[in-house]
Structure 1
Amino acid sequence: MLAVVLVGRPNVGKSTLFNKITGHRRAIVAPVAGTTRDSLARPAVWQGRSFQLFDTGGLYGASEDPLHELVVEHGKRAIVGADLLVLVVDGRDGLVSGDETIARELREAGRPLILAINKIDDKRARHATMDFYRLGIEPVVEISAEHGTGVGDLLDEIVSALRIHPDESQTPNPESHSEISVAIVGRPNVGKSSLVNRLLRAERVLVSDMPGTTRDAIDTVLTWHQRRFRIVDTAGMRRPGRVRTGGAVELVSVAGAKRAI
């Protein structure tokens, strides 16, 4: 299945767009820059055409995340494996140096590229959108990921750029009954992500010594002796009283882990 990767600075709305397109609230959305860490993957379908959509952590720009360098490294790895890149920018902020840096690196990747100007429903974006055309990226689509405005137009551009025909994109449902789901669950920092990477024989999920590294529930398909397993790495779960005092991101992370269970 062809891979479409959402790329952009922290907090420009990539995760909101990911959730809108895939129809699942898999990516955590919060006003804290740097909320997304791992690259999330989810199948998406538009007008009978299927592709795999990836949400990445924010590249460059301001981030409060102490693991930002690792997040950027994983994001760049996703870019290398992409068939199509969607650069998401924040229309309210206007064109900033971080957008220009990312656009330059994406052009060097040599992949087809679409520019999505997000948050155009905000009055501040109406005067700034023209600045983004200076990036020299075509096509340009103005969207509001939160309200769905323009998302259909973006999807039209995606399937057009991928040149997918309906009969070519039909693939087995990744959540079919022939697939066994395995959730890796435990307290923070006990080695869940390291175990998942060892099972997959790849650096699929972020690993560090800092408790709470994993935030989203990351699922990946593993084939072993002709059987399909969906391995789900979950956020570490502390006692309920500690979770309540850990902030909004931890609350949503633990809720996602419970859904995976």
Structure 2
Amino acid sequence: MVTIAIIGRPNVGKSTLFNRLVGRRLALVDDRPGVTRDRRVGEARLMDLTFDVVDTAGLEVAAAETLEGRMRAQTEAAIAAADVCLFMIDVKAGLTPQDLDFAELLRRSARKVILIANKAEARGSDAGFLDAYSVGLGEPVAISAEHGEGMGDLRDAMVGALGRGAFRPEKTSSRRPREDDDEPAQVATIDVPGDLAGDDEEIEAYDATKPLRLAIVGRPNAGKSTLINRFLGEDRLLTGPEAGITRDSISVEWEWRGRKIKVFDTAGMRRKARVQEKLEKLSVADGLRAIRFAEVVIIVFDATIPFERQDLSIVDLIEREGRAPVIAFNKWDLIEDRQELLADLREKTGRLLPQLRGVKAVTVSGETGEGIDRLMKAVTETHEVWNRRISTAKLNQWLERAVAKHPPPAVAGRRINIKYMTQIKSRPPTFVLSTARPEALNASYTRYLVNGIREQFGFFGVPIRLAMRKAQNPYAGKKKRSS
């Protein structure tokens, strides 16, 4: 499997080329330098070539302990793992001393390097293109990452560096698989026969080996990237004491007890009123997209300052999106009186999050690894509940008892007749209640039914949807017989 890393100083167009190769606007692009901070891997296709491409942070000269120094270390790790490096320079701006320094770094790495002269379509770029020869990395390939010019020359240079046989065969499918593809909703036709007591409906068993998509969200500096690094057992994502380090939603592959998991790291979410800059808006939008295509979402709370207003807003967002939530109280290694705080956290979880009654909450430490196994166990258990389906027969047997125990209130002296209930999909569990007058059923009775479903069938900690359907009148449209 060929891996190609895009390398260069800040703002030369690396992320623009990355997006063109993967065929989607996956990486954030902005006019300011230094937008990309973490390594981002994507499946790319260039004409008949299929390969993995890595977007990297702009190379900068900085001390190792600084943010820029840590970004550089991430880029150097990408260089070490790559088969070929695309060293990109901006010929519109011209060659800089920084470019020459990093060209020397690539020479010392002993990796195969293709020199990319980006923005070659710009007026006045000819002088910069000629200067590119002085870098000493062979003939530059003139391209425009923004407009797609020169892609054929880039393809030929890649084949020249590695040979055609090194690349994976082109996929025969006309549609490239997307890392964020969701599975089709398991929707059943609402056509419940009269004999609801039948119990022969087949319910597919939960597959505990199936790959799982997991998003990590939370406020800035809650420890999301540190937690993922602990999952992976390596410093894969950029971390540090500075708030707001992560900007893109980065996906990484991982295996836990033999199960493949794709983990999405997201940018910290601040209150909407505080999000003013265009770049932060893009970061938040990228995070929301990761949430929508995840199955389980871990909401990371800072255990030293839990249940801030923004924490509750994020949980509410996850519930509205219908994802399966798990709460991780991170930085547990910093807590001294653990028993007292644990009791307080349990009480507040139940009181402040009534819409997700029974949600699993685990204390963890991304720094030390404490509680990681318990957290992942909670993730898989919640995922199983989120996928659960109940047969129509069992559902209506329960509904009959529930209505007998607490009938719906009469409206204007008329009793509300409930016909039946059926589950039309899972992920999240969604039910439809058939009644002659759905508009007359009030919110409190709907809550009674939802809470009853949660208790009876164990749908704890996941969103439940209950929709109303007007039952058809079998006599509608028929003429009255004259006596």
Does TM, normalized by the shorter one, top 0.5? Answer: yes
Deviations 1:53-77 (A, max 9, x none): 0111111279xxx721111111111
Structure 2 matches for 1:50-129, cutoff 5 A? 50-60=50-60, 67-129=67-129
The size of the alignment, in residue pairs, is: 256
Write the distance in 2 (CA, Å) between the matches of 1:60 and 1:188. Answer: 24
Write the distance in 1 (CA, Å) between the matches of 2:56 and 2:287. Answer: 19
| Deviates most, 126-135 or 82-91 | 126-135
* Residue pair 1:121, 1:144 contacting (<8 A) in 2 also: yes
Aligned to 2:287: 257
Write the distance in 1 (CA, Å) between the matches of 2:69 and 2:166. Answer: 39
Write the distance in 1 (CA, Å) between the matches of 2:178 and 2:229. Answer: 20
Deviations 1:164-208 (A, max 9, x none): 438845799684875321110111110100010000111110001
Question: Please, what is the CA RMSD of the aligned residues?
Answer: 2.2
Aligned to 1:207: 239
Deviations 1:210-248 (A, max 9, x none): 1110001110111223321111100011111111x2x11
Deviation at 1:161, TM superposition (A): 1.9
Write the distance in 2 (CA, Å) between the matches of 1:182 and 1:29. Answer: 24
Query: Aligned AA for 2:273?
Result: G
Residue 25 to residue 13, structure 1, CA distance change in 2 (3 Å) = same
* Residue pair 1:71, 1:206 contacting (<8 A) in 2 also: yes
Aligned to 1:161: 161
* Residue pair 2:19, 2:25 contacting (<8 A) in 1 also: yes
* Residue pair 2:7, 2:86 contacting (<8 A) in 1 also: yes
* Residue pair 2:8, 2:89 contacting (<8 A) in 1 also: yes
* Residue pair 2:133, 2:139 contacting (<8 A) in 1 also: no
Query: Aligned AA for 1:49?
Result: L
* Residue pair 2:5, 2:55 contacting (<8 A) in 1 also: yes
Of the three residues 176, 179, 182, the one matched with 2:211 is 179
Aligned to 2:38: 38
Query: Aligned AA for 1:72?
Result: R
Write the distance in 1 (CA, Å) between the matches of 2:138 and 2:99. Answer: 15
Query: Aligned AA for 2:224?
Result: K
Aligned to 2:252: 220
* Residue pair 1:9, 1:61 contacting (<8 A) in 2 also: no
Write the distance in 2 (CA, Å) between the matches of 1:124 and 1:6. Answer: 24
SS state at 2:282 partner: helix
Query: Which runs of 5 or more residues in structure 1 are unaligned?
Result: none
Query: Aligned AA for 2:285?
Result: A
* Residue pair 2:50, 2:167 contacting (<8 A) in 1 also: no
Query: Aligned AA for 1:256?
Result: D
* Residue pair 1:10, 1:61 contacting (<8 A) in 2 also: no
Query: Which runs of 5 or more residues in structure 2 are unaligned?
Result: 184-209, 292-483
SS state at 1:102 partner: helix
* Residue pair 2:61, 2:69 contacting (<8 A) in 1 also: no
Residue 227 to residue 174, structure 1, CA distance change in 2 (3 Å) = farther
Residue 174 to residue 20, structure 1, CA distance change in 2 (3 Å) = closer
Write the distance in 2 (CA, Å) between the matches of 1:167 and 1:98. Answer: 32
Deviation at 1:128, TM superposition (A): 1.9
* Residue pair 1:197, 1:205 contacting (<8 A) in 2 also: yes
TM-score, normalization by structure 1: 0.91
> Which of the pair has more CA radius of gyration?
2
TM-score, normalization by structure 2: 0.50
Aligned to 2:269: 237
Aligned to 2:17: 17
Residue 232 to residue 16, structure 1, CA distance change in 2 (3 Å) = same
Deviation at 1:111, TM superposition (A): 0.9
Write the distance in 1 (CA, Å) between the matches of 2:131 and 2:169. Answer: 36
Paired-residue identity, % = 40
SS state at 1:4 partner: strand
| Deviates most, 220-229 or 18-27 | 220-229
Deviation at 1:124, TM superposition (A): 2.4
Aligned to 2:449: none
Query: Aligned AA for 1:80?
Result: A
Write the distance in 2 (CA, Å) between the matches of 1:52 and 1:228. Answer: 19
Aligned to 2:396: none
Task: Work out which structure has the larger RCO, using CA pairs closer than 8 Å and 6 or more positions apart in sequence.
Answer: 1
Write the distance in 2 (CA, Å) between the matches of 1:224 and 1:101. Answer: 41
SS state at 1:165 partner: helix
Residue 145 to residue 174, structure 1, CA distance change in 2 (3 Å) = closer
